[in-house]
Amino acid sequence: MVDSVYDIDLEELKKQGIRGIIADLDNTLVPWRSCEIPCALEDWFCRVRNAGLKIAVVSNNSPSRVAEFSSRLGVTCIAKAVKPRRGAFRRIAADFGFAPQEMAVVGDQLFTDILGGNRSGMYTILVKPLSRHEFVGTKLVRLVERIFLRRLQKRQKQK
């Protein structure tokens, strides 16, 4: 768990054998519905690539929204990914030619990004959502997420 993608220790990931990153789009890279790409995000993509890591975006959002980011950031994107289903995660790993354990998934939602990544056998990183605005359905899911998160944190403390 980290606050945002900017707090991910890329060198540490590489030490763990990670070679590719799959990032969620909404509320992970950009606020929900935002069409702007902040300079900081472009810089981050450069840092990831300079570190020798491959990166792709996997989103449950519409192809039109996702395509815009794909072309502007020059990154492979999969839209309508139906996370937590594994298909899109596996497709990216296969494209990259990496094993699941060489992939890290970054996202702001436990039941889509993190669950899907874990089910695919990938290393998962949970970030805090960038904005409080989101799809109504997501807001409901957040309530349940909080319960699970609290349990997870308790378990981590006990370790």
Question: Toward Mg ion, which CB reaches closer, 27 or 70?
Answer: 27
Question: Toward Mg ion, which CB reaches closer, 24 or 145?
Answer: 24
Total length of the chain? 159
Q: Is 134 in the site for Mg ion (CB under 5 A)?
A: no
- Considering only 23, 24, 89, 145, the residue that binds Mg ion (CB under 5 A) is 24
- Considering only 13, 23, 26, 117, the residue that binds Mg ion (CB under 5 A) is 26
Q: Is 27 in the site for Mg ion (CB under 5 A)?
A: yes
Contact assessment for residue 32 and residue 54, using Cβ atoms and an 8 Å cutoff: no
Amino acid at 25: L
Q: Which strand ranges, in their side-by-side order, compose the sheet holding 20-23?
A: 76-78, 54-58, 20-23, 103-107, 123-126
Give the nearest distance from C-beta 145 to Mg ion in angstroms: 12
Site string for Mg ion, 94-133 (x = CB under 5 A): --------------x-------------------------
**HSE of 24, CA atoms in CB hemisphere, 13 A:** 31
Find tokens 């359905």 and name the residue: 137
Return d(Cα 135, Cα 86) in angstroms, integer: 22
Rule CB under 5 A: which residues touch Mg ion?
A: 24, 26-27, 108
